[in-house]
Amino acid sequence: MAYDVPQLLGMSQSQLDELFKKSPTGEIPDGEGKGTAIVAPGTNYTQDIAQFISFFAWQGKVFDAKNGVLRNKILPLGFNAIVAKVYKGESWLDGKECIVLDYSETSLVARWIRDEIRQIGPKMYLGKVYWDKKRLIDFAF
């Protein structure tokens, strides 16, 4: 089944976790992906928070699969900044393979951040954000 952002924004945290767990790793993305932060899943605030973050903070990611890196599109002007290494590795959520977005060696600002993504449909990925090993939020692109 293909998912879209409105469906994901309507899911609870447990539904997002189950979708992530049952999804295949997929291929490392290449090119630009529009992002949506999923904060407070399953509440009436999820959509509003996503719109706020998209406008003021984070718009998505730009992947360079060949070189195994990405840059985040941030701030209202969409600057390409905050670099991460991209590789396949073990998920902290379930121990199965995922695509890891690792900021520990590439960013002073985000060196404690690790994202994990899996493909949930054609050109659609669901991600988990960790600060050290503590889960913070989900995102889609």
> How far is CA 12 from each of CA 18, 19, 39, 70, rounded to the nearest angstrom?
10, 11, 10, 28
What's the CA gap between 119 and 114, in Å, rounded? 17
User: Which residues lie across from 117 on neighbouring strands?
Assistant: 99, 127
Q: What is the pTM of this model?
A: 0.95
Task: Report the percentage of the chain scoring pLDDT > 70.
Answer: 100
3-state secondary structure of 130: strand
**Residue partners of 15: CB distance under 8 A and separation at least 6:** 41, 42
Q: Identify the CA nearest to 99 among candidates 35, 21, 27.
A: 27
Residue 22 exposed, middle or buried by CB count within 10 Å (0-12, 13-18, 19+) = exposed
Per-residue pLDDT reduced to its tens digit, 75-105:
988 889 999 999 999 999 999 999 999 999 9
Tell me the pLDDT tens digit for each residue of 43-71: 999 999 999 999 899 999 999 999 999 99
Torsion of CA 2, 54, 96, 131, to 10 degrees: -160
